[in-house]
Amino acid sequence: MSLIDNDLLSIQEARILLECAADSAEVLEGLPGTLVDDFLQHLREGLLPKAGEYAEEAFAESDYCSPEDEAGLTKWVLTDLLGEVSAQTPVQRIVRSSNGSAEVCLPKGVVVSLLPDWLSVPTMLSQLVMAVRSKSPVVFSASARVHETCAMVMGDVLKIAEFCHYPTEALGYLSIFCPEGEEWVCSQPCVRVVIDSREDGSDPRRFDAAGKDVYFATLGNNPVFVESTADLGACADEVVLGKSYCYGMLPGAEQSAVVERAVDTRFQEELRRRGCHFLSDEEAERLVSSLFMPDGRPYRELIG
């Protein structure tokens, strides 16, 4: 009886994928914009008709989400989102704004993405089109619950990449899933960005995050519903201590509360006792004018 050391195999595959991704960075820098645009267009044409099939496969494998909802989101990624990404300023082009500042979009380097068990296909495709547009190598890893579905999608992506002469070395997928392989690939110094979309909020201490941008992309909009019979103090604690609140920082705008009218004032007081502040209309307008230009675009200097 032969024994297979999947831990070792996963690490070996991760090393090969990462070496290829790092080597492809220079190749990507020299790609003409027309080739990148052509690849994105062919991704839309080749994958959009299969959105329903991907959703059915993901549901059958993971038993998560609604196939109809996931198919709709995948179609949105391959139409609206892909169109918005394609319209963005290409990398390596200097753009001067009306206020005299200059900005240039540059690829940050190798990206590693840890995909979630739900909505894994639209998540992967949204990150893929952004990586392609920014000329960034990307390596994906999916857990065992959605591994085969993501592998099927990635296989179709690689066929389109070969047809469009896009470097396939820049598009990696860890085909042998093991936590040790993920840990190894995330810890390497050549990785510049790690996107962790897992619900467990994977502990960043499990890999070396030094010198990397690490994004936890699981929150989304999380409404809290407070009824008149609720323990208002406990609810306020849950909101303030919850991950979506983000310690009161601006990303905490993803946290919203729907409160029954009878306890609205009392619940606001509970939140204020815990250090929360409710913006007046004037304060909200001043904040918006500080963050956004009159045309709605954010001041890039404030993002970082």
pLDDT-based confidence at residue 41 (cuts at 50, 70, 90): very high
Q: Which of residues 267 and 207 earns the better pLDDT score? A: 267
Place of tokens 């047809």: 163
pLDDT digits (tens, 9 = 90+) for 78-91: 999 999 888 877 77
Whether the CB-CB separation of 40 and 84 falls below 8 Å is answered with no
Q: Give me the chain's average pLDDT, please.
A: 84
pLDDT-based confidence at residue 1 (cuts at 50, 70, 90): very low
Q: List, in sequence order, every beta strand (DSSP E) within 82-157.
A: 94-96, 102-104, 110-114, 138-141
> In this structure, what are the phi and psi dihedrals at residue 190, rounded to the nearest 5 degrees?
-75, -10
Residue 70: name the closest of 56, 57, 82, 55 by CA: 55
pLDDT of residue 223: 75
Residue 176 is encoded by which pair of tokens? 């042998």
Sheet holding 171-173, edge to edge: 171-173, 138-141, 110-114, 191-196, 213-216
pLDDT of residue 86: 86
Residue 253's identity, in one-letter code, is A
Whether the CB-CB separation of 138 and 107 falls below 8 Å is answered with no
pLDDT digits (tens, 9 = 90+) for 171-182: 999 888 888 888
Report all structural domains of the chain as residue ranges with CATH numbers, in order of start: 7-86+105-216 (3.40.605.10), 222-302 (3.40.309.10)
> How far out from the chain centre does Cα 41 lie?
21
